[in-house]
Amino acid sequence: MTPNDQFTKADPTEQFHTDDFPDGPIEHPGLTRDLITHPDHGEESYRGSGRLLGKRAIVTGGDSGIGRATAIAFAREGADVVLAHLPEEEDDARETSRWIADAGRRAVAVPTDLQEEAHCDSLIARAVGELGGLDILVNNAAYQMTLDDGLESLTTEQLLRTFRTNVFAMFWLCRAALTHLAPGSTIINTTSIQATDPSPQLIDYAATKAAIVNFTKALAQQVAGRGIRVNAVAPGPIWTPLIPATMPTDKAESFGQETPTGRAGQPAEVAPAYVFFASQESSYVTGEVMAVTGGELMPS
């Protein structure tokens, strides 16, 4: 079955369904090539219509998973894209850049660790310098690691890494970006179903995702008068390299089966939410969270 066939199927419980998830873990942070079942990023299925023509975007965590799918969609909608990725994810970033170039847009891959404030400031400056400005900031990079034995097994090192990557970097990037964002610009943060329905094994990660919802709503009100919109996408279980790189084998193998649709989602199914928030189609929407969860409910 081809990706296009997947998207034309009417039954969402059958679309993208697979039983071929890996039977073992992969090394963190996880590369796409290490997966037995590769995620669908919309490489063959996403069709653009010029909704972001001439826009300049940053996508953090843009090398793989949701970030790659979003970067591909943005490029096919007409945007140039700066990808932030960890240095060890260079192979995936190169592949994402190739898809952006194939769409006729400019790709700039920036290896960096956003745990450092200076690196966040540098990323914004690099994007503005390379692209001549900035219109869209997607805060998508994240760190998670499953806990084996409850809160007692949560080290301070992991706690700090999770919050620095997921929350502090978002604050630093938004603060630096606001200097360059003109009216009509957008910020899109990535939260999660974990923000309202936390898994005990992901207690630190879930807490960061709840913080992202709160931050999104507060910043949206703070900058609305400047013509800048701030929204968030809340994915449910989406199949990316991060899953087998951070979860026990049994959890990875059954990933997404608890949803009403009975399966994990694919990055290609999440990317359109980012396109909507980045485009003028959502010009009267700010401070909102869009759930893409396979039917798992989030409080409105």
* 46 belongs to the catalytic site: no
**Residue in 46, 143, 205, 274 annotated catalytic:** 205
Other CB atoms within 10 Å distance of the CB of residue 151 = 9
Q: What is the CA radius of gyration of the chain?
A: 18
Query: For tokens 């974990």, what's the residue?
Result: 194
> Measured between alpha carbons, how far is 194 from 202 in angstroms, rounded to an integer?
8
Instruction: Give the integer Cα–Cα distance in Å for 159 and 165.
Output: 10
Q: For the purposes of burial, counting CB atoms within 10 Å of the CB of 153, is it exposed (0-12), middle (13-18) or buried (19 or more)?
A: exposed
Give Cβ neighbours of residue 66 (< 8 Å, ≥ 6 apart).
Answer: 140, 190, 235, 238, 240, 267, 270, 271
State phi, psi for 3 to the nearest 5 degrees.
Answer: -55, -40
Tokens 């329905």, residue?
A: 197
- The set of residues, in sequence order, having a beta carbon less than 8 Å from that of 187 and lying 6+ positions away, is 136, 137, 139, 174, 177, 181, 219, 228, 229, 230, 231
Instruction: Please give the positions annotated as active site.
Output: 205
